[in-house]
Amino acid sequence: MPLAPGTHLGPFEILAPIGSGGMGEVWKARDTRLGRIVAIKRLHGQHGERFEQEARAIAALSHPNICQIFDVGPDYLVLEYIDGRPLQGPLPVEEAVRLAIQIASALEEAHGRGILHRDLKPANILVTSKGAAKLLDFGLAKLTAGADSTRTIDGTISGTPSYMAPEQIEGKPCDARSDVFSFGTVLYEMLAGRRAFEGMASVLRDDPKPPPALESLVLRCLAKRPGQRFQTITEVKAALESAASAKAAEKTPSIAVLPFANMSRDGDDEYFSDGLAEEIINALTQIAGLKVIARTSAFAFKGRNEDIRRIAEALGVTNVLEGSVRRAGTRLRVTAQLIHATDGTHLWSQRFDRELTDVFAVQDEIAAAIAGALRLKLTGKPATGRPHEPNLPAYEAFLKGRHHSYRYSPEAFARAEDYYKQAIALDPQWAGPHSALGYQYFLLGGVGLHPMIEMAPLARAEARKALELLPSEPMAHAVLGAVAALHDYDWKEAEEHSKLVRASESLPPEVQDFYALFYLLPLGRFEEAILERVKAIVQDPLNARWRARQAFTFLCAEKYELAIVEARKALDLDDRSFWPHYVIALSYFSQGKLVEAQERAEEACRLAPWHPAVVGFLAGLRAQAGDRDLAEKLLATVPATKPVGMAMYHLVCSEIDTALDWYERDIELRQPTAALLASAGFHKPLRASPRWPKLAKMMNLPVPAPE
């Protein structure tokens, strides 16, 4: 029966035409039963049981940016009626990014349920009167063979030519990356106001002209080969959110202090030039309303002849400070220049020729000059009001200790410890070296280089001494809170120190890391921990460690796809780190993908053969794969003093009672891994055991309801 205004289709009164397309025609209608306005899509031809099954699956999607399907008939769909207009470009970058994040979020929901759209294009996206994007027309959507599968059930050629992925045009199996390609064509059109491709041949043959903004993001979506694109729409959304954050940051005064060039004759003076730049970073954090990039990210460009504008773009800042240091006997020459990143103009520059003992005054003068140039208020105390001004030999020893600490190796840690002790001997009234040494001791126990049961008293003593000298020292409180949590299992004391830490006006990322990793995470307060990590990443965006820790937080919270995305970001920044590989391996394991988990675990073990949990995890995967001989060889390398390795092995092998035996030993030895992993998603089998309440009580942790 042909449709026309006034006719009925079952209980639906047809009101007016909305549009038509290859799959059918769409009408505005009234549901006479419920008295609501709906959209009726009348499909061309009859559709079988399989179509109805898929339509009902899509109807189960519930997302604010997806047009709902209310019902399905033999040849029609009943849809949510949307008062809106089709998506059109060009749009301002901020608006395009805002809508693109909503569209990506809708696709993320569909992909998470194993549904591919396969016909993403501007005409299938409406923008409501309230400015929200609504993704519609899942008429070509296909269920994957399972929520974790990547291939569609068939390989038919369907879609709109200019927006189809190359593999879709060629009739090859499609997966989520095909929708990523189509998403890229939509985003391109939103930014450029024109299509990226004109027809099938163009998609297969041509590279589009760069869009006016977000060039690398868009072109990565539009890579011809699926393996060169973003691998999930979640990755695309994360990249868009980063772009949005960077755009917002442009409206806030922000600065990165690059490592100062060492112009001294002695190359070993590098510790001093680096230290001066870091001290200026610390001083700038006292300027109200100024975003200051942390040391690790700013120093990522050391030794690289990069354009200032590229550096500023990578760090998301509006201003860059660069300079040089020359030491000659007791004389010090410092040059500094503040550069506006957008156009490369110099806002301020100056040369300081002083006695070496005036180094602290130089630091404060530079900070005050920057505040003046940016018309901001310097809220920190000037040099004459410092809590304690150390003598020069102590200051130099402290800078040398910090210089080695950043190198993050057993040998460097040992040298850092020696230099901090020298600084304390040279100036016992200075809190800084005590706080740094306390952090160093806790780190030695945390990474497993020394037993935590030996390191905890040393870390506690140094942190307390630092607070005697300077009660507001945030890192000292952070160390005491971490020791209270992971060693003493005293969560009340840990909470008190956390409150004192967070009372500080400006927190370095290391302090935020302690709060998130050693207090929030063991208590299962994942969302709060994730937010703390976001703050640290904004301060220090190129620090692979914070990305890896965020990935671990997502893993513990059972957000496995996000964990994989964040771990890959960490590897993009530092491919020498074992931790991101380990997080990806655990994420795959938690999803039942044992082959993929073993591949990543092998890489993690290659990079960190000394880490007991990594070795135990790989041994368990090997045993599950039937390679018991290699599993036993791996286990032979795990010392009995580090039970977490054996606990992980037996957990992977589903030998829960034996895993709990080793886990209990971990608790008795006060190893930080015990409390740290108590709430982790992959420890569910341990928490399901009737023995868990006893173990939770040993750590003074609440016993959760059965999962």
List residues with catalytic annotation: 119
Quote the distance between the C-alpha of residue 373 and its chain's center. 33
Structure tokens at 495: 């909470």
Q: Determine which helix (DSSP H) or strand (DSSP E) holds 534, and give its type and residue range.
A: helix 526-539
Alpha helices in 358-406 (DSSP H): 359-373, 392-405
Q: Which residue has the tokens 């992959």?
A: 682
Query: How many CB atoms within 10 Å of residue 383?
Result: 17
Rounded Cα distance, 99 and 101, in Å: 5
336 by DSSP, 3-state: which? Answer: strand
Rounded Cα distance, 141 and 159, in Å: 10
Rounded Cα distance, 118 and 143, in Å: 11
Structure tokens at 634: 């791996």
Rounded Cα distance, 605 and 117, in Å: 39
Please, are residues 585 and 620 in contact by the beta-carbon 8 Å criterion? no
Rounded Cα distance, 470 and 283, in Å: 17
Rounded Cα distance, 532 and 508, in Å: 11
Contacts of residue 690, defined as CB under 8 A and 6 or more positions apart, other chains included, come to none
Neighbouring-strand partners of residue 346 = 339
Structure tokens at 498: 């956390």
Alpha helices in 447-574 (DSSP H): 452-469, 474-486, 491-502, 509-515, 526-539, 544-556, 560-573
Tally of CA atoms within 13 A in the half-sphere of 81 that contains its CB: 18
Rounded Cα distance, 283 and 288, in Å: 11
Q: Which residue has the tokens 């549904």?
A: 115
Contacts of residue 635, defined as CB under 8 A and 6 or more positions apart, other chains included, come to 615, 616, 619, 645, 646, 649
Angle subtended at Cα 148 by Cα 555 and Cα 550, rounded to the nearest 5 degrees: 20
Structure tokens at 330: 């007791």
